[in-house]
Amino acid sequence: MVRGPVSLVIVGIATLAMFALVIGGPRTFESILPESAIIWLETMGGRSGAGGIMATGGDVGWMQGATASDTPGDLLADTSDGWAAQGPIAAVPGGAVFIDQVLAGYSVRVRGQVPAQTTALVPLQGCAPTPPGAGVAVLHAGAASSDRVPLGVSTYGDADLARGVQAFARAYRRTVAPPRIGAEGLAFGVQDVAVTETEKPVYLVLEAPAGKVIFNIHLAPGARLDRVVLIGGEQVGVANVAPDVPVEVMRQAELAACGMQPFYPLNPNHLFYQSVEMGVIQGEELAQKQTGFQLAAANWDAAFRALFGVGAAETLAGGWLRGSVSAVGPVPATAQGRAVWQPVSGGLMRLTLDQYVDLAVPGGENIDFAARVRAIATAFAGGDLASLKAGVQF
């Protein structure tokens, strides 16, 4: 009888699978499970009738407080690091709605996608984009600060390559097999934005946190874009925006050069307020921090209002810790009024770039970050990587 060992193996496999789900989320299995299964794992069967395994973040873990709900706000976690979506919800100004209320055909399978065409965006030289004209609706969406799904588009510079070569050399000296060359943080992550405003042309302000972000834009029937302005981020871009729509860019570097720094009021359960409640921050330090936060938020709101004619915090849809979809405009009264999701692949992407850009085209001969790092390391090693074992210095 081998029932005992077999049972232990089954238990072990199940434990490892659950561990992978907890650590990496449902997308860990997207290469082997159908999309319907991935969505079910992310939402645990939809709005109601089941418990939850939802991506949370901060101090709220998987399977904690993530019961399914018929109220979108119940699936928005107030964590120590910021607001985090726990289910199939989209960010709207001041709250959340279910994704399927504003966006039809939403798909989670975007990892590694590349566009059919790319066009480079040149950041503004001055401190003010073209202001909104008369008769437009100024709408404002933000990207999540973590867990953005990476696309097959990366950009980086010589400094990134230098760090990669040094890390490769250190790892090569410690291992027998050739080490893996990491490219973390080089790929653009995607944020979906549903635009449901149809009464007026939309002047769309898209705000990125740190890192590299592509905003994938989905229009409702009848929605029209007047202009897109990208602010923040290290490198930013848009996908599925018509070529005749102007796109202007002020990245984080340009904002800082103009004396502007995005800042918003902290969520109630933020680590700062937890520290205050526990007495870790008090007295003069507390007063200074509170004054600093208020001043930073007021300064950013004033700067945003000067640029776009509306306040920053009151108009922002998103900017959460986690949440893959933002929605601007009214919630459609009918299913036919929803925005229609489009993949990044096959469309046009306009983006800012560093010195190098990689497109991970399936089946293509891609000269990527890893290839460049290996080539540079080989050149410094005199053509033979084995000499790295002897301690060649870069």
- The predicted structure's pLDDT at residue 147: 86
* HSE (side-chain half, CA atoms, 13 Å) at 161: 17
Residues 109 and 209 occupy one common structural domain: yes
For the chain, what is the domain count?
2
Residues 12 and 119 occupy one common structural domain: no
Strands 117-120 and 348-351: parallel
Residues 233 and 355 occupy one common structural domain: yes
- Residue of 79, 87, 86 lying closest to 59 (CA atoms): 79
3-state secondary structure the chain: CCHHHHHHHHHHHHHHHHHHHHHHCHHHHCCCCCHHHHHHHHHCCCCCCCCCCCCCECCECCCCCCCCCCCHHHHEEEECCEEEECCCEEEECCEEEEHHHHEECCCCCCCCCCCCEEEECCCCCCCCCCCCCCCCEEEEEECCCCCCEEEEEEEECHHHHHHHHHHHHHHHHHCCCCCCCCCCCCEEEEEEEEECCCCCCEEEEEEECCCEEEEEEEECCCCCEEEEEEEECCEEEEECCCCCCCEEEECHHHHHHCCCCCCCCCCCCCHHHHHHHCCCCCHHHHHHHHHHHHHHHHHHHHHHHHHHCCCCCCCEEECCCECCEEEECCCCCCHHHCEECCCCCCCEEEECCCCEEEECCCCCCCCCHHHHHHHHHHHHCCCCHHHHHHCCCC
Indicate the residue among 63, 80, 97 that finishes a domain.
80
Residues 30 and 144 occupy one common structural domain: no
The confidence band for 279, taking pLDDT boundaries of 50, 70 and 90, is very high
- The predicted structure's pLDDT at residue 276: 93
Residues 361 and 253 occupy one common structural domain: yes
Residues 125 and 181 occupy one common structural domain: yes
- Residue of 188, 226, 202, 77 lying closest to 140 (CA atoms): 202
- The predicted structure's pLDDT at residue 383: 80
- Domain-located, residue 303: no
> CA 220, CA 4: separation in Å to the nearest integer?
57
- The predicted structure's pLDDT at residue 63: 28
- Domain-located, residue 233: yes
The residue segments making up the domain with residue 64 are 1-80
Query: Is the Cβ–Cβ distance between 207 and 319 less than 8 Å?
Result: yes
Indicate the residue among 80, 102, 131 that finishes a domain.
80
Residues 74 and 101 occupy one common structural domain: no
pLDDT in tens, 246-274: 999 999 999 999 999 999 999 999 999 99
pLDDT in tens, 232-243: 999 999 999 999
- Domain-located, residue 279: no
- Domain-located, residue 274: no
- Domain-located, residue 25: yes
- The predicted structure's pLDDT at residue 363: 64
- The predicted structure's pLDDT at residue 231: 98
Distances (CA, A) of 47 to 40, 42, 86, 273, 324: 11, 11, 11, 31, 17
- Residue of 261, 262, 249, 255 lying closest to 353 (CA atoms): 249
Residues 143 and 200 occupy one common structural domain: yes
Percent of the chain clearing pLDDT 90 (strictly above): 65
Q: Which residues lie closer than 8 Å to 194 by C-beta, 6 or more apart?
A: 90, 102, 103, 218, 220, 325, 326, 327, 328, 329, 338, 339
* pLDDT, greater one: 51 or 210: 210
Indicate the residue among 80, 115, 138 that finishes a domain.
80
Average pLDDT score over residue span 58-73: 49
- Domain-located, residue 215: yes
Rg (CA), the chain: 23
Residues 95 and 193 occupy one common structural domain: yes
Residues 101 and 49 occupy one common structural domain: no
Does 341 have pLDDT greater than 70? Answer: yes
pLDDT in tens, 17-64: 555 554 455 555 555 555 545 554 554 444 443 333 233 222 222 223
- The predicted structure's pLDDT at residue 281: 92
Residues 32 and 135 occupy one common structural domain: no
- The predicted structure's pLDDT at residue 371: 86
- The predicted structure's pLDDT at residue 28: 53
Average pLDDT score over residue span 338-347: 94
Does 11 have pLDDT greater than 80? Answer: no
Residues 50 and 15 occupy one common structural domain: yes
Query: Is the Cβ–Cβ distance between 230 and 189 less than 8 Å?
Result: no
* pLDDT, greater one: 10 or 67: 10
- Domain-located, residue 120: yes
Q: Global pTM?
A: 0.82
Does 331 have pLDDT greater than 50? Answer: yes
User: What is the residue type of 57?
Assistant: G
- Domain-located, residue 290: no
Owner of token pair 């990044």 = 344
pLDDT in tens, 140-196: 999 999 889 999 999 999 999 999 888 888 887 777 667 777 778 899 999 999 999
